[in-house]
A = this chain, B = another copy of it.
Amino acid sequence: MTTGVRRRMGVEERRQQLIGVALDLFSARSPDEVSIDEIATAAGISRPLVYHYFPGKQSLYEAALRRAAEELATRFEEPREGPLGARLLRVMGRYFDFVDDHGPGFSALMRGGPAVGSSTANAMIDEVRQAAYEQILSHLGIDEPPVRLSLVVRSWVSLAESTALLWLDGRRIPRAELELQLVHDLAALCAVSAAYDDEMAAVVAGMLEHEPLNGPLGRLVTRLTAVAPTVMARVPLPRSGSGS
């Protein structure tokens, strides 16, 4: 049915180019503010030709989101080699690279809104969350997580999301600090759960097993141990009386 138009690009190549152009625009501004006209101009083609490849902005948005989701999922991949803390810190570095590159689009997507809150978009967000969850479990070397670990890792994934969103809103804290903080947060949330559950205590012991003292997790323990006396000195632990 194509009417003999010949272009340099094949159909699939043109589709991929449009997705790339759209992703750049959707990343730089809220997707609601990006028009098909703009995408056409940026791609150097006519508006009707965009519609030839994608029936509407929503389908192009979803294709761009699909590419972003696949890209984000790969950021969580990391060889299972060396200490856990350093591995997680590298993953967090690549995660913040992604968030940095796609800031406005990432914010708009995670906050929902007319163009971005579709069920397709939500399903893709869930896929990325699931991929992140599975990667973390794999780094912990755990195939069948106990229910408490499952909850801690999944809720940490959401903590990583909200931390990144809050960082984007003003960037008032250096991102390197937050990358490290999120690694520490995962350990801390596991430790809290471990305080009441033997299975989780074993998980935490496993996390720390090959951890050098100068790695991200070792340094947290060291720092907390160092700071604890100062903090605890201000805490009125039970004494015989409560006189002034």
Q: Is the interface of A mostly helix, strand, loop or mixed?
A: helix
* Chain B residues near A193 (CB-CB < 8 A): 181
CB–CB A209/B236 < 8 A:
yes
CB within 8 Å for A185 and B189 given contacts A158-B162, A205-B235, A213-B237? yes
CB–CB A195/B223 < 8 A:
yes
Identical chains bound together, number? 2
A231 to B114, CA, bound (A): 49
CB–CB B201/A173 < 8 A:
no
Tell me the minimal C-beta distance from A122 to chain B in angstroms: 5
* Chain B residues near A93 (CB-CB < 8 A): none
- Per-position 1/0 for A156-174, Cβ under 8 A of B: 0111011100110000110
Question: Which of A1-9, A18-26, A147-155 is the interface stretch?
Answer: A147-155
A112 to B121, CA, bound (A): 10
Q: How large, as a class, is the contact surface on chain A? A: 35 or more
Tell me the minimal C-beta distance from A162 to chain B in angstroms: 4
With beta carbons under 8 angstroms apart, the residue of B112, B172, B181, B205 that contacts A147 is B172
A48 contacts the other chain (CB 8 A) = no
* Chain B residues near A178 (CB-CB < 8 A): 151
Taking CB as reference atom, which chain B residue is nearest A117?
Answer: B117
* Chain B residues near A73 (CB-CB < 8 A): none
With beta carbons under 8 angstroms apart, the residue of B162, B166, B204 that contacts A231 is B204
A154 to B163, CA, bound (A): 8
9 contacts between A and B (CB under 8 A): A112-B122, A113-B122, A117-B117, A147-B173, A151-B178, A155-B166, A158-B159, A188-B188, A205-B235
